[in-house]
Amino acid sequence: MHTTVGIIGGGPSGLLLARLLHTAGIDSVLLERRDRAYVEQRQRAGILEQATVDALRACGAGARLDAEGMVHDGIELRFDRRAHRVDFPSLADGRRVTVYAQTEVVKDLIALQLAEGGPLLFEADVHAVEGADTDRPLIRYTHEGQEQTLTCDYVVGCDGFHGVARNAVPEHLRTTYERVYPYSWLGILADAPPAADELIYAHSDRGFALASMRSPSVSRHYLQVPNGTDPADWPDDRIWDELDARFALDADPGWRLKRGPVTAKSVLPMRSHVTEPMAYGRVLLAGDAAHIVPPTGAKGLNLAAADVIVLARALTHWHTTGSTDLLESYSDTCLRRVWRAEHFSYFMTTTLHTAPDQPPFETRLQLSQLDRIATSHHAAAELAENYTGLPLATEPPA
């Protein structure tokens, strides 16, 4: 089998790329190792930047997003037992974010691609990418018990952090930057109305907490926990009590989260990771395959979308003009934005979490920084601009 663009991985980056290419009249084959139900149920991110929303609309996946997505104009920061709201439109040039779960984005993109796109194969496990430095790179995969090969003009690795495509960049040309954090998140889904109209990020002397949502009747909350935490050690009542303690406000001592049945519970470790470059020959990497951020800045899914928006433009330019200019600058163009999001995610994470054995000096610095955001237009604007998403660069740095 041959295709123009072979896409490995059916997460948000692979699915959105397949749709953007389809819209541009470029054929692709998408290979996903898991089954459809697994991919559609994986609980992950929830915040979409405007550029992500625009790309989903442009490729025909906007209907349910527009009907069910919740547009948010800000977030609340709680620290030192007080609350401060960061207003996005007034600080960041009218920008807002949309709360719409990754699970729903993935469901919408899969339904569209199966209805009117190129082949999307589930349970197609890729084990090798060969010939990156030739005109005909090749993907080897197993599907329905058979060994298969797919030759391509270009291969895009959208296969996440544990994927195989990254190995197509020769080791001596690859640089990896990484930071692992000394804490994890315990995340829950609950059949309970959200805590407030907007998300609440809390710094407390008991650690970080985040109150998010999936719909007017479903909440998604997170607690900082030690690495290696077993969710079984956290019965529902313990989770709710701890969330309430971390969100406590002196000015409103009766404030409590709305409780309800907990329907999912999991622990996720936190990591920052960048692999450079994001391309070698005719193999290009996008999304978590090339970079990971800790989720505190809500950037992972949006960075994945930004990569494939830039990549779809570059592939379309090549397909219509024969010029590989934009493909050659793809890695540099993306990495500039990736590093900004890496810094913002690191900043949000290290400002809001309390490390084990954190010296009191550092806690005072965190509180000083949060107070600065609450009192300085410039400091708040810096947060708002990064949170709502910086403009998509179309050119590499000069």
Interacting residues with ligand PHB (CB under 6 A): 45-47, 199, 212, 220, 295-296, 298
The site partner of 198 among ligand RFL, ligand PHB, none (C-beta below 5 to 8 Å per kind) is: none
Query: Which position among 141, 183, 201, 222 bears the catalytic label?
Result: 201
Q: Which is nearer to ligand PHB, 46 or 287 (CB)?
A: 46
Query: Which position among 107, 291, 299, 353 bears the catalytic label?
Result: 299
Residue 295 falls in the annotated catalytic set: yes
Residue 387 falls in the annotated catalytic set: yes
User: How far is the C-alpha of 203 from the C-alpha of 385, rounded, in Å?
Assistant: 21
Q: Which is nearer to ligand PHB, 142 or 346 (CB)?
A: 346
In the complex, which residues of this chain contact ligand RFL (CB under 6 A)?
8-14, 31-34, 39, 44-45, 102, 125-126, 158-161, 163-164, 268, 287-288, 295, 298, 300-301, 304
Residue 299 falls in the annotated catalytic set: yes
DSSP 322: -
Q: Which is nearer to ligand PHB, 44 or 174 (CB)?
A: 44
Minimum CB separation of residue 289 from ligand RFL in Å reads 6
Minimum CB separation of residue 141 from ligand PHB in Å reads 31
Residue with tokens 């804490």: 183
User: How far is the C-alpha of 154 from the C-alpha of 138, rounded, in Å?
Assistant: 9
Q: Nearest to residue 52, comparing CAs of 345, 396, 392, 288?
A: 392
DSSP labels, 162-188: T-SGGGGS-GGG-EEEEEEEEEEEEEE
For the chain, the first-to-last Cα distance in angstroms comes to 40
The site partner of 296 among ligand RFL, ligand PHB, none (C-beta below 5 to 8 Å per kind) is: ligand PHB
Query: Which position among 141, 154, 280, 387 bears the catalytic label?
Result: 387
Token pair in block for residue 198:
């907007």
The amino acid occupying position 202 is A
Q: Which is nearer to ligand RFL, 288 or 385 (CB)?
A: 288
By DSSP bridging, strand 146-157 and strand 138-143 are antiparallel
Residue 2 falls in the annotated catalytic set: no
User: What Å distances lie between residue 180 and 224, 231, 280, 305, CA to CA?
Assistant: 14, 20, 26, 24
CA 158 to chain CA centroid, Å, is 13
Q: Which is nearer to ligand RFL, 10 or 74 (CB)?
A: 10
The amino acid occupying position 229 is T
The site partner of 257 among ligand PHB, ligand RFL, none (C-beta below 5 to 8 Å per kind) is: none
Residues with catalytic roles: 72, 201, 295, 299, 387
